[in-house]
Structure 1
């Protein structure tokens, strides 16, 4: 039996970051992980491999549609699917082995196996029991599905199966118009697949800024994706040619059928706590099946903490990382904290979509007086040079104080641009502060400054 200051269950972004930070602060740390590789869903079958395929297919799109416009005359590119998947796997390997190196560097023990918690302060796996002053559950999440839908990861797949299909399908139905569905739908659309996205609600990317959603859908339709909104999936049936999706309109009640070679179920994710023994421990759960915690990430069981997808909040890798750092610092006697009002969200399609802070709809709902500064990328010289001038930056600030309340971007490098605003919000900056900061020319970031100027006397290039 080994004894640790901290034992983390799960080596995803939340778990491995928590372990590294705790080790940096002098704690004796171990991580229990059942996968053959570290990094969790994100590095193995989520964020990282999907971005590799998004990058590869974006380059394909550029070669097919924009190379000629730039005077680059090349033969029509051919897709070698096996080599593309091998490239994706190589990217995964580089990242997961990197985490192994960091564990060795920080003297963190990797306990290989799926863990359970038989009693407070104890973690059991592989027939051994380890004691720890603190245990952090960072076991992540798993894909959720729908009644009447059986996933086989061959024809009816989650994002995991979609990352390693044996062949590029001629047609695909994506159930769910959220981040995962739109990213993977975009990948296969660029590869020539006929993609239809089915969504229960009346808009894509539920919860995001409505103006961004409208523009985003229009641009994705222009790229070839088809949307069926406001409809409820009734079931998915395997056929000799693939599968049939039956869905019913929420407005008219009319049923319809969609046939496809592959069906991607992208209806969100749910906490993965199977086998941990939380019921027997008496761990309090939320009505949504998440682990209930206090502001310090502590559960109802002394010495047991939870971070990331298993607790409340957005299921985002970087949110889990911040929580991992915070709880490690708390356990080391410091004052760890996460500002949940400044957690960016990004969709890595082309164009990218990024958001931080409140939306206009949220501000209206709470009756807050605000200003809107908006600037189109069509007014940005760099964006036009790379054929990505169809998006915009939308900045929201308090009407009385000018303090930045939120930002919503659809356009080139939106996922990187949003962090300028996130930093400004962390320091309580005003739109004028951002507007008066010199930005290099020509850069995409000038569009952010112009949106900030639009909150005042007006943008220069609009």
Structure 2
């Protein structure tokens, strides 16, 4: 049995925990897959590199409104793919090499670990490990839906036509046809990518909207805009899937009963089937029961405000968690913030001597106020804080400001006819409760509203207390703020 002072499970945001301040300790980092986690290898970063390609292709396709005669002719998929992963794979290899070869005090464990006790674990290969302090940063994984005829072992398998986001971006050739199951941000982004570069792409949605978790007005507007440029079928689900003799996938559909008079398509055969129906935390695979770890009904590990893992409602001494394995947000920037908090608290705990010996007053707490998110499609979406429905249900006296992109000068330049900014505020305090932007560069122009919420600035102060560059796109945010009624 091998003992470590600190063990980190996962190399996404968990990889940032161990720095020079741990140099005098015996530490280990466990990673059975690729260094860098989902964000680097199969999530945020590669998808955005593909999204940029899709955006450029769309611009070439849709230029007549600007008086330009351009068109999109073809996509060199291997070149697109290699541009993305030549950079990403180099970073992954460098991270692995640094941890494995350049740090004398660090052991890299390439096995999947599971708990056998509160501070003991065993690897799939049989190695037994104990650690004084453990950081669980094991992330999440794509959900594989239960579809008759779909063999889960085929999902993401080499040569298989059935994918999740983990493997679809690395296929050898651009597929001629893709079926995407799902209605969330992963389904939306991949639909945008494949449709834009010329693949015959269909999205099967169980309900009546895309991004249905958003503010109702935003989801409805997005659904209409997205469906105008993509083949979206509502109120259906895959009722059967089977491989064909030529290595493709035949999918049969049925009504979900959630959309009246939904039109159920005939069975289709596609080159690639992409499962994008959600992600689940990787807590179950760690055998949390063996360590007595508290688990939420949705499978997340339960943590306190200091990211200490709970057992029976109390912090388990020396055990911390961060990111998708415990967070309801499943966002990289949230995981990075939690990693910073965990790092500080582990160091405080080490300085205290005994695991769990740190005084609570000395521990850092997470700040999960004004957590933003974005969806990188066409149109782009950015959101922070409450939806209008949540704000009204909270009991606040709500005022809503709204401004279309078409109402500001740069919106005219873009010829944008669907985008808008929406700000929700409390009439009494004049604080911003939520903000939602749909349109070009939404993820950037929402930032002043995120900052205002984070620092408690009043909406009227944000609108009037600074210059807004004219005729820049953030004027749509300024004008939405000015539209708030505090009378």
Q: Structure 2 length normalisation: TM-score?
A: 0.83
Q: Deviation of residue 10 (structure 1)? A: 0.1
Q: 1:27 to 1:410 in 2, by over 3 A?
A: farther
Partner of 2:132 in structure 1?
A: 133
Q: Is the CA contact 1:346–1:354 (under 8 Å) kept in the aligned structure 2?
A: yes
1:46 aligns with 2:43: yes
Q: Deviation of residue 387 (structure 1)? A: 4.2
2:461 aligned to which of 433, 437, 441: 433
DSSP 3-state at the match of 1:302? strand
DSSP 3-state at the match of 1:160? coil
Q: Deviation of residue 144 (structure 1)? A: 0.5
Partner of 2:359 in structure 1?
A: none
Partner of 2:482 in structure 1?
A: 453
Deviates more, 1:395-404 or 1:250-259: 250-259
Q: Is the CA contact 2:63–2:70 (under 8 Å) kept in the aligned structure 1?
A: no
Partner of 1:64 in structure 2?
A: 61
1:90 aligns with 2:86: yes
Paired residues in the alignment total 453
Q: Is the CA contact 2:241–2:249 (under 8 Å) kept in the aligned structure 1?
A: no
Partner of 1:259 in structure 2?
A: 268
Two-structure CA RMSD over aligned residues (Å) = 3.0
Rounded to whole Å, the distance in 2 between the matches of 1:317 and 1:390 is 28
DSSP 3-state at the match of 2:166? helix
Q: Is the CA contact 1:200–1:233 (under 8 Å) kept in the aligned structure 2?
A: no
Q: Following superposition of structure 1 onto structure 2, how do residues 156-195 of structure 1 map, counting pairs within 5 Å?
A: 156-195=162-201
Partner of 2:351 in structure 1?
A: none
Deviates more, 1:227-236 or 1:263-272: 227-236
Q: What do residues 92-151 of structure 1 show as CA deviations (whole Å, max 9, x unaligned)? A: 135435656886999983514123344433455566555533101111111112222435
DSSP 3-state at the match of 2:471? coil
Q: Deviation of residue 382 (structure 1)? A: 2.6
**Higher normalized contact order (CA 8 Å, seq sep 6+, divided by chain length):** 1
5+ residue gaps, structure 1: none
Q: 1:76 to 1:170 in 2, by over 3 A?
A: closer
Rounded to whole Å, the distance in 1 between the matches of 2:249 and 2:237 is 20
Partner of 1:9 in structure 2?
A: 9
Q: What do residues 263-290 of structure 1 show as CA deviations (whole Å, max 9, x unaligned)? A: 2111101112465343322323222222
Q: Is the CA contact 1:383–1:412 (under 8 Å) kept in the aligned structure 2?
A: no
5+ residue gaps, structure 2: 349-361
Rounded to whole Å, the distance in 1 between the matches of 2:65 and 2:463 is 37
Q: Deviation of residue 216 (structure 1)? A: 1.1
1:242 aligns with 2:270: no
DSSP 3-state at the match of 2:286? coil
Q: Deviation of residue 357 (structure 1)? A: 0.2
Q: Following superposition of structure 1 onto structure 2, how do residues 209-248 of structure 1 map, counting pairs within 5 Å?
A: 209-223=215-229, 225-240=230-245, 241-248=248-255
Q: 1:236 to 1:321 in 2, by over 3 A?
A: same
Rounded to whole Å, the distance in 2 between the matches of 1:199 and 1:84 is 28
2:209 aligned to which of 192, 203, 212: 203
1:271 aligns with 2:285: no
Q: Deviation of residue 359 (structure 1)? A: 0.2
Q: Is the CA contact 2:118–2:292 (under 8 Å) kept in the aligned structure 1?
A: no
2:441 aligned to which of 413, 416, 430: 413
Rounded to whole Å, the distance in 2 between the matches of 1:101 and 1:336 is 31
Rounded to whole Å, the distance in 2 between the matches of 1:248 and 1:75 is 37
Rounded to whole Å, the distance in 2 between the matches of 1:101 and 1:440 is 46
DSSP 3-state at the match of 1:186? helix
Q: What do residues 246-273 of structure 1 show as CA deviations (whole Å, max 9, x unaligned)? A: 2223155986544141221111011124
Q: 1:98 to 1:322 in 2, by over 3 A?
A: farther
Q: 1:89 to 1:217 in 2, by over 3 A?
A: same
Q: Structure 1 length normalisation: TM-score?
A: 0.88
Q: Is the CA contact 1:372–1:454 (under 8 Å) kept in the aligned structure 2?
A: yes
DSSP 3-state at the match of 1:374? strand
